[in-house]
Structure 1
Amino acid sequence: MKRVEDLVRPRELPRTAEIAQRLNWLRAGVLGANDGIVSVAAVVVGVAGATGASGPILMAGMAAAVGGAVSMALGEYVSVSSQRDSQQSMIEEKRADLAQEPDLNLAGLARIYQDKGLSRDTAVLVARELTDHDALGAHLSAELNLDEDDVVSPWHAAFASAIAFTLGAILPLLAILLPPAGARVPVTFVVVLAALGITGWIGARIGGGSRSRAAIRVVIGGALALAATFAIGHLLGASGLVG
């Protein structure tokens, strides 16, 4: 019979922090693509409501795609930079605290494991062994649910957000430009709402929520946005303010 020690190999176990980070990136990508679909679709449909010429539609769509991608990237960079600064600050504070009061921190780590159900002696033993192996990593994980190697990168976040938005923006651009002039708006409505339903379903699956409810919400929101911008564009075109 194999011993438990032979069966349990920590290096083969998935790291919860890594899995959570990948899921967060995937969810952010889906949301970024969703934003690209909705915002660019609303712009091109609004312009199509005012004029049937391909030139203005293309220029407006490209401007919305580029501006939106840059805006998403900048926003994500600023947001994630703030998060990274906060994480690094917590890491440095804990490193200094460990250097100044190692015994007090060891006792605190043991109490955390004791509160989780370990006996006092076992909790102290676990705390000592983890501290001997990697004191900073043990305290960051137990106290802050943070891994020193998993500090987020603002550049990665910015590029991922811009790419996701751009990929989402391509769909409404193709949907509005490829069909004949008379079918552009209906085709764009169908394609965009179908894509939004898919992204809503995927986002809910990643987050563990109701997939059908999420898909319906995002489809209704997208339909309202498209209808509103088309109506505004149509009114402006009919008024003669734009040609």
Structure 2
Amino acid sequence: MHHSIHEEAHLSNRNHWLRAAVLGANDGLISTASLLVGVAAANPSSQTLLLTGLAALTAGALSMAAGEYISVSSQADTEKADLEQERYELTHNAERELFELTKIYVARGLDHTLAHQVAVALTEHDALEAHARDEIGLTDLSTAKPIHASVASGFAFIAGAILPIIGILTLPTQSLVWSLASVTLVGLILLGIISARLGGAPIIPATARVVIWGVLAMLATSLIGRLFGIAV
């Protein structure tokens, strides 16, 4: 009888870039569209709108990429510090670290004898890896990757922001606010569906979150633009 090893493709493998990409696309679409809706409500020229959109896209993409890199780098620094601390403890307090690992496995359901045997075996194989995984909670999937997050966030912001900018160039100027809001709403729905599919989440709740917050942001900026008659 033939047996084959089936390796499941886990969606959590996408965590390094998916969170940053969804955040970037969502921010790019909502912030740029909201800004343009607010400015359009003040009845500026098409050139002013286009310049505003391009400035928002450029500044936003660079800001998101830099922000992700800095924040995730801080997380990576913390992880490295924890690993260095564990490396020191394993060198100077090996017995205590072995006992600590044994207690972790006991808490997970193993009897003390088996837990000790497992702790000894894993320590002999790779003590630092065992403590990083089971004590600190660091794995290859959870380890911070600043470059991945930065690139995903920056390019996703551009992808989200480009839609309302295209709308400026193609939509009728006499009803630009409503047309731009409609196009952005479609973009929010698509973003919610795509992010849900990539993350394995239920489509309706994920899409509803994106749409509701996006609509609220556009309403707020449009109201400010109409009240003051100025670009915000």
TM-score (norm. length: structure 2): 0.85
Instruction: Give the partner amino acid of 1:169.
Output: A
> Do structure 1's residue 125 and structure 2's residue 117 form an aligned pair?
yes
Moved more, 193-202 or 74-83: 193-202
2:40 maps to 1:42:
no
Please state whether the residue corresponding to 2:41 is helix, strand or coil: helix
Task: Give the match for residue 98 of structure 2.
Answer: 106
**In the aligned structure 1, how far is the partner of 2:103 from the partner of 2:214?**
51
The farther-off stretch of 57-66 and 104-113 is 104-113
1:182 aligned to which of 164, 174, 184: 174
**Between 72-81 and 62-71, the greater mean CA deviation after superposition:** 72-81
* Residue 156 of structure 1: aligned partner: 148
User: Following the alignment from structure 2 to structure 1, what is the Cα–Cα distance between the partners of residues 97 and 160?
Assistant: 48
Is 1:30 the counterpart of 2:16? The answer is: no
Structure 1: distance between partners of 2:207 and 2:7: 34
Cα contact 1:140–1:148 (8 A) shared by 2: no
Q: Which residue does the alignment assign to 1:146? A: 138
Greater Cα shift, 82-91 or 153-162: 153-162
Q: CA deviation at 1:172?
A: 0.9
- Give the C-alpha shift of residue 168 in structure 1: 0.6
The worse-fitting range, judged by mean Cα deviation, of 49-58 and 78-87 is: 49-58
1:177 Cα deviation after fit? 1.8
Q: Contact 2:28–2:160 (CA<8 Å) still a contact in 1? A: yes
Amino acid of the residue matched to residue 156 of structure 1? Answer: H
1:58 corresponds in structure 2 to 50
CA contact (8 A) 1:176 1:185 kept: no
Note if contact 1:84-1:153 (Cα within 8 Å) is conserved in structure 2: yes
Q: Deviations over 1:192-233 (max 9, x none)?
A: 112213333454566676642343343232223223323333
Secondary structure of the residue aligned to 1:50 is: coil
CA shift at 1:149, angstroms? Answer: 8.7
Once the two structures are TM-superposed, the CA of residue 24 in structure 1 deviates from its matched residue by 4.9
Q: Distance in 1 between matches of 2:65 and 2:209?
A: 25
* Residue segments in structure 2 that go unaligned for 5+ positions in a row: none
Question: What TM-score, normalized by structure 1, do the two folds share?
Answer: 0.81
**Inter-partner Cα distance in structure 2 for 1:189 and 1:47:** 12
> In the aligned structure 2, how far is the partner of 1:230 from the partner of 1:218?
18
Distance 1:209 1:172, change over 3 A: same
Contact 2:16 2:144 in 1 (8 A): no
Q: Distance in 2 between matches of 1:23 and 1:77?
A: 15
Residue number in structure 2 paired with 1:225: 217
Q: What's the C-alpha RMSD, in Å, of the aligned pairs?
A: 2.9
